[in-house]
Amino acid sequence: MESCNLQVIDREGKTHELEGLVGWRAMEVIRDYGLPIKAECGGCCACATCHVYVDAAWVDKLVPASDEEINRLDDAFDVESNSRLSCQIILTKELDGLKVTLAPEG
Residues in Cβ contact with 66 at an 8 Å cutoff, skipping those fewer than 6 apart:
45, 88
Q: How far is the CB of 103 from ligand FES (least distance, A)?
A: 11
- CA dihedral for 48, 76, 49, 97, sign (positive or negative): positive
- Applying CB under 6 A, which of residues 9, 22, 41, 70 lies at the interface with ligand FES? 41
Residues in Cβ contact with 59 at an 8 Å cutoff, skipping those fewer than 6 apart:
82
- Applying CB under 6 A, which of residues 27, 30, 102, 103 lies at the interface with ligand FES? 27
Contact between 30 and ligand FES by CB under 6 A: the answer reads: no
Q: Are 91 and 58 in contact (CB under 8 A)?
A: no
Q: How far is the CB of 86 from ligand FES (least distance, A)?
A: 7
- Applying CB under 6 A, which of residues 9, 45, 70, 90 lies at the interface with ligand FES? 45
- The 8-class DSSP code of residue 65 comes to P
How far lies 12's CA from each of 35, 65, 105, in Å? Answer: 11, 27, 12
Residue nearest to ligand FES (CB): 87
Contact between 9 and ligand FES by CB under 6 A: the answer reads: no
Contact between 87 and ligand FES by CB under 6 A: the answer reads: yes
Residues that bind ligand FES (CB under 6 A): 27, 39-41, 43-50, 72, 85, 87
